[in-house]
Structures are given as structure tokens and as C-alpha cells.
Structure 1
Amino acid sequence: MNDTAEQKPKLTVLLCAPRGFCAGVDRAIQIVELALEKYGRPVYVRHEIVHNKFVVDGLRAKGAVFVEELDEIPPEDRERPVIFSAHGVPKSVPADAQSRNMFYLDATCPLVSKVHKEAEIHHRRDREILLIGHAGHPEVIGTMGQLPEGSVSLIETEQDALNFQPKSGRQLAFITQTTLSVDDTAGIVNVLRERFPDIVAPHKEDICYATTNRQEAVKAVAPEADAMIVVGAPNSSNSQRLREVAEREGCRVSDLVQRASDIDWTKFDGIKTLGLTAGASAPETLVEEIIAAFAERFHVTVESVRTAEETIAFNLPRELRDKSAQQRSAAG
């Protein structure tokens, strides 16, 4: 066995920390699991609870049924709980659920809800609102859907910020999607501030702590690595941004993979150092799977590179706190 290990090329894996689940994702998954325990199966979930196939498939196996719209729920199951995803939903969705007499639980990340509240405050103060984000992303759809149609203008790039023309003489304000590239967003904000010095910014950064921390960890590791792997889903905004950050920091190979089976091994020939991280909706078991796959081909040494500590946890919906307390009591 030692002979085999000696024959394998040596590889140092620089493991980014923090990585993987953030508090909002952890809370959303808990909400589905606790709802299944409390109310039995099926529990319906509108849209993927988080953007990760492994997580979604695991919850589906436990009895969660994923739908894109409420009208996909069969009439005979309209009394079953329905859960809204961590990305948030337009106001029309809970209104639709109420009109159908549905019982719903909202798993929207509290940091996304914070952006929703900011949008509403700006609207009440008669400001013209700009949202920095990616068109079509569920979080952007949910945030724009907090206000009447046409109330929010979407800015995706610095060029959009240069081209933007205010619709009125009202004061401008901007908010942002929580999972953006910190650097890209700073560039867009700089353009807006140069053009509109009086634009109102968020009281506290809208890009969430987890997105920022994971990007900072990649910035620390990527310059030291021959290649970088981000574990995450292609439709995960925060995971895509991590891959882009690694690329920007000069990593010649920067790949986003969902599972070890997705790895294109030809890209990793001859590497001596691998950076490894995971998007905020990717579970740690998938990181371990990637390390195991490399250990089959390399003599692996793992080094953790920590750039921040995370201690944030969010409260569960009131309806599920009793179930959570019972679990803690049983575990204790």
C-alpha cells in the first residue's frame, strides 16, 4: 500500500474555509426536514429549496415534492404544507397561497428578506430604485416582485450603470442581490455614485456575509493553486461567482463541478496544488467526495486555509420551533 502511495504524484489540497452551507441555506433545509417530521409526507416546496441537486434529491427521497408554481399542487393536496425557497418569492406568491387557503412556510433567507424590506422603505419614501443583480435569478424575481411592476430597474453590468437614465426627478436608491461578486458589484456602485452622487446606498452591505467570506477565502487560495475546484450547481449564483473569482485571481484552471463524477481529469494532469471550496448550497459530503476522488489518483495532503469565522444562525419559523426544541432535547 505504501508503494502505491509513493508512486502517486503528490498533491496539496488547499481547502478554503469558510466554504459550503451558509446559515440561510442550513435554515431552509431544516425547515423542509422539520416540516416533514411534524406534518408527514408529502410537503410541497415551490422551486428548489436551494440550488443543489444532491440536497434537493435527498429531500425528495424523504417526501418533499418540488413544484415551480402553486397550481401544480393537486387539489386533494391543497391542505398539505407548502414551503417557499431560500431565494425569496414575489408578494404575489403568498397572496396566491392565501387565496387557495394553503398553509405555507417561508424559508426565505433573512438576509434576502432584509433586501425586500429596504426596497419597500425606498418605495414608501418615493425613491426610484435600482437593483444590482442577474436577470432571471429567483432572488431577483422575488425582490422585484415586492413592489408594483415597473418600480425597480435592474442593473446587471457597469455598462448598464453607464446607460441608465432616471425616469423621474425623484431621489435614486440602490439595493443588490445577496450572492454577487463583491468586486463586480463595487465597480457598478462606483459608476452609479460617480453619475449620481446623492444615490442612497444600503445601510449595511446587501451582499451577504457568506458570499463575501467565501470569495475572500478563494482570493487567498487561488494565487497559490495550480487549479481550483468549486463544488456547486451551475444555477447557483454564489458558486458561479466563486469560480470567476478564482479565474480572476490567476488560477489557470477554475472549474465548477457538482459531483466527483463531473471532474474532467485531463485538466488536472501535472498539478501539484489544488484549491478547493464549495458554494453556499453545497454540503460538506460533496467536498469529501472530491477529495476522495483526487486521493485515488494522487498522494493527497490537505491543508485548511481559514480567512474568517462564521457563527451566525437564524431562527426557524414559529410553527417549527417546537419540533426543533424536541430534537435538541432528545439529542441532549
Structure 2
Amino acid sequence: MDAWSDALGEREVLLASPRSFCAGVDRAIDVVARAIDRYGAPVYVRRQIVHNAHVVRELEQRGAVFVTEVDEVPPGQVLVFAAHGVTPAVRAEADARGLSVIDATCPLVSKVHSEVRRYTGRGDTVFLIGHGDHEEVEGTVGEAPGNVIVVEDVAAAARVAPRDPGRVAYAMQTTLAIDEAEQIAGVLRERFPTLQGPRRDDICYATTNRQQAVRAIARECDLVLVVGSANSSNSVRLVEVAQREGVEALLVDDAGQVDLRALKGVRRIGITAGASAPPHLVDELVHCLSGLGPVTVRESQAEPENIHFTLPREVS
């Protein structure tokens, strides 16, 4: 009861823009939905199509069956590869089982895979800046497992030892924090003067835009709430970006996860959402906050995102 009364009060909400779904997530969800419509349920999906519990639950209700590995799918069934990409070995296993595969890998992730193949094909060792336990990184490493070294932080960049220091390149996980990734790349460039890299860093436009947006509002806020699931890399990075601006920031899957104790004394709340979090979750969060007192909503100004990716031919 005390937590409820302490959370009451008039507030201003600052909405970061852009927020929520990006083009790659929209495409991946659409792929599963169209596959169910075209081929009928069940449609199998390897791993979470995107890292958001609400999206997964909604697709399950429509007839999607999420599996961990290909061998859980009955022969001859339809299988969708998630947005984070897979290794060539996974593709080969699906083919061997006679599965009808639909690839929902984000085109920006596919671009990183292509870079790794190009670099390793000419004999380079690739430093992959990213988190080794993330599905996207697992898929990228699988393109050339003997020639890709995952570099997770500045300390790792300072000690990494390639086979030939004169033949090295780097690539990046697409959902990293921009500033941290650049620090790591900077250490690698200092250590390896011949280091090759992509013409543009691999961090995707949506990750970049959402980090810039939350940074723009963070210093004006007493608290930042990031809507997203705990296994969403880009959502976790948004929390970290806000915290580096000196404000308390919390990750919440939805309005029901907001701890009322965190709202005590808070009069200006920033809200954003990871690229895999449905927009309606932000609307619901604002609505719930309005139940604690009058809320004024202000949205930050930003250029609209007009990027769209074509669908795979199997569902287009």
C-alpha cells in the first residue's frame, strides 16, 4: 500500500523516437504469419523469431511452434530461420531432413555473414566484435569457425592473438552499443595497422537510431523505462546507454513489470522500446502510468524510418 501511495503523482512522459519495431523485425514476424496463412499450422521456427516474449506468445497462438534445434522438426515440415541468422551447418541439417525452409534472417545480419565469408575467403582472421553467447554471433562465427575470433570487450581486444597479425579484419554484431563497439574497434586498429573493416560499421540503423534517441531524452529524465525482453541485446544496450547518461534506467517486458517503488519521487519518465518490442506495449505502459496521476506526454522529434525489406519468395 505504501508503494502504491508513494507512486502517485503528476508526471511528464518523454517518448523516445524512433522506438519499437525495426524493418528486420517487422519482416521476420510477417514471414511467420504469412507462412502460417499459406502453409497452415503448424509452422516451425528455430529459436525465437525475434527476442521478445510477447511476439513469440502471439505467434504461438496463431500456430507457430518454436524449437531449439532442427532435429525437433518432423521431416518434410515448414521451418523458419529466425531473424538472428544461422550457421551453414544448420542449413545443411535442415536440407538433410527434407524441411521446407523459409529464411527470415535480417538482411543486415546477412550482410555481416557475407563480410565474414569475404574476409576469411582471402585468408584473413576476422575479429567479430560482439557477445559470444548471442544467437547472431553464433550464426556469424559458423560461417568460418576456425577463422573467426569473438572479441567481447576492450580487454579482449588488447590481448587477442591472430594467426597472422598482418592479415586481419573485423565485423560487428548488429545490436551493440555504438560507443562501446567503437572503443573495441579502436583498440584493434591501434594494434593491427593493416586491419580491414566494412565500409560502414555493421551496427544496424535501427540500433543506432534508438540509442541516439534514448540518449537525447535521458538527461531530462528522473527515470528511463526501456520496454523489451531480457534476452534482447538491443533492448539491454538501450538501458546501458541511458545509464551512461547518469540516469536510472530499467528494462521491463511490459507495464506489469514496473516496480512501483522505482516511481517514488519520479516526475519525469523517459520511455523507449527495443527494436523487437511491439509498439502497443509502450501505449499500455503510458496508459498504466496515467492511472497513478495526470500524465503529460511529449514525443521527441526525429526523422522517420522509411526502410523496408523484401520478403522471401516463399511467402511473398
- Tell me which of 229, 239, 242 is aligned to 1:246: 242
Q: Which residue of 1 aligns with 2:258?
A: 263
Q: Give the percent of matched residue pairs that are identical in Structure 1 and Structure 2.
A: 48
Instruction: Say whether residues 1:66 and 2:63 are aligned partners.
Output: no
CA distance in 2, matches of 1:164, 1:48: 32
Q: How does 1:186-197 map to 2 (within 5 A)?
A: 186-197=182-193
Q: CA RMSD in A?
A: 1.0
Q: Which residue of 2 aligns with 1:210?
A: 206
CA distance in 2, matches of 1:175, 1:279: 22
Q: Which moved more, 1:40-49 or 1:8-17?
A: 8-17
CA distance in 2, matches of 1:71, 1:205: 35
Deviations 1:172-223 (A, max 9, x none): 1000000000000011111111111220011122000000000000110000
CA distance in 1, matches of 2:167, 2:10: 59
Q: Which residue of 2 aligns with 1:108?
A: 105
Q: Which residue of 1 aligns with 2:268?
A: 273
Instruction: Say whether residues 1:146 and 2:165 are aligned partners.
Output: no
SS at match of 2:272: strand
Q: Which residue of 2 aligns with 1:27?
A: 27
CA distance in 2, matches of 1:123, 1:44: 32
CA distance in 2, matches of 1:181, 1:192: 17
Q: Which residue of 2 aligns with 1:237?
A: 233
CA distance in 2, matches of 1:123, 1:150: 9
- Tell me which of 121, 124, 136 is aligned to 2:133: 136
Contact 1:213 1:307 in 2 (8 A): no
Provide the aligned length of Structure 1 versus Structure 2.
Answer: 309
- TM-score normalised by the chain length of structure 1: 0.91
Instruction: Say whether residues 1:158 and 2:154 are aligned partners.
Output: yes
Shift of 1:55: 0.4
CA distance in 1, matches of 2:301, 2:110: 29
Contact 1:126 1:170 in 2 (8 A): no
CA distance in 1, matches of 2:280, 2:118: 41
- TM-score normalised by the chain length of structure 2: 0.96
CA distance in 1, matches of 2:301, 2:178: 19
What is the one-letter code of the residue matched to 1:271?
V
CA distance in 2, matches of 1:165, 1:97: 35
CA distance in 2, matches of 1:299, 1:313: 37
Deviations 1:284-303 (A, max 9, x none): 11111111111110211111
Q: Which residue of 2 aligns with 1:82?
A: 79
